[in-house]
Structure 1
């Protein structure tokens, strides 16, 4: 099984960390291909960055499907950037890490909280919670951490995320935490041990979900809104 884990931003060091987290949970027979577009926003923080990231991400998916034979694709951005377009383009199933993480958290707890990066990301994630049927079960908290600060161990970003988790448990009644950024993919087990509640990372949750879909022989339906793109002739 070959899975593409695509980071829609152009920061290759983050892609490497995402790929390592994905490989750590993948089955022995699963090959993880971690990739990012060569150009585009260095991080995705809000609607503007999302829009800029989509064309490069779709081109990366198309390239790997053409050249490498991909069985499924994981979109490794918590905004589930370009998810519907990617499902139309890809031949195999496509899973966004936000949807995977929220559905996983919903199996573990009655209420959960998403701890994300900056406040500007909160409205987009609230809309996704509504879309995925989780709005009544979760709260969204911003830790005040720029995405790229997660790349710097000296930034204090991890401490702010840990504090956000504790506040979500104490003030929001969260019984489980979802990490609201792919750049946090390597922190879940440490933060769970530190805080005493289950902590779900969307990258690893999406990989395990994708392995199940592929093993079951399931693909995205192409009979409706996810029909393949049409050729455009002027």
Structure 2
């Protein structure tokens, strides 16, 4: 059994059930997923300020996962909260939702567009991550839906309308030929893929599937790149 601890970097459990239902559809039969939510911190992640409030508690959960014998850790948030710190602290594989999505999307097309939530701070952070991971030349655009992550969870029909509008603009106006949904756990990617007839990457699924591959290949991040503190 390959055991993955998924960390939600928010102090609300609203995402746990939909996340687990989604992942159970796509995980390998020999994969066990445990979802944990931080005990303190923000209720949603939409800015660098929110990230800073969450990192300490994310790191605590990650270190606990390794002590408890988990085989890998997934960061569910698209802003990859605390990813580098976790990689420094842990020996088991740690992958972020944004990181996984960008790598997967780069295999599927020449330009990708990201549709996300939050405010300008979230867009800036995503731009920084795209540059950091080396995908600047493949980014067609980042488009923002005028709903917060928490609103995403309770206004799903409105969310679908808004992301479809932005996805069509991303394809028609920005030249995107792959779409990444830049918010985890909403399970709208299959529906959106049917609407636009292009590949749509769900970050939550992407990070779990990449961790499964790393596990099968007995690979983890380089400790030369991420040395112990």
**TM-score, structure 1 normalization:** 0.92
Equivalence for 1:39 = 40
Equivalence for 2:64 = 63
Residues 5, 33 of structure 1: 8 Å contact kept: yes
After superposing on structure 2, the runs of 4+ consecutive aligned residues of structure 1 that deviate more than 6 Å are none
- Higher alpha-carbon deviation: 153-162 or 117-126: 153-162
Equivalence for 1:76 = 76
Residues 125-140 of structure 1 mapped to structure 2, 5 A cutoff: 125-138=126-139, 139-140=141-142
Residues 46, 119 of structure 2: 8 Å contact kept: no
1:9 and 1:92 map into 2 onto residues whose CA distance is 22
- Higher alpha-carbon deviation: 96-105 or 155-164: 155-164
Residues matched between the structures, number: 226
1:155 and 1:202 map into 2 onto residues whose CA distance is 20
The Cα of 1:178 is off from its aligned counterpart by 0.2
Equivalence for 1:232 = none
Structure 1 residue 19 and structure 2 residue 11: aligned? Answer: no
SS in 1 for 2:137: coil
Extract unaligned runs of 5+ from structure 2.
none
Equivalence for 2:155 = 153
Equivalence for 2:192 = 191
The Cα of 1:136 is off from its aligned counterpart by 1.5
RMSD, aligned α-carbons = 1.4
Alpha-carbon displacement from aligned partner over 1:4-31 (angstroms, at most 9, x marks no partner) = 1111112212122222222221100000
Equivalence for 1:85 = 85
1:59 and 1:218 map into 2 onto residues whose CA distance is 23
Extract unaligned runs of 5+ from structure 1.
230-234
1:110 and 1:218 map into 2 onto residues whose CA distance is 27
1:154 and 1:7 map into 2 onto residues whose CA distance is 20
1:195 and 1:20 map into 2 onto residues whose CA distance is 24
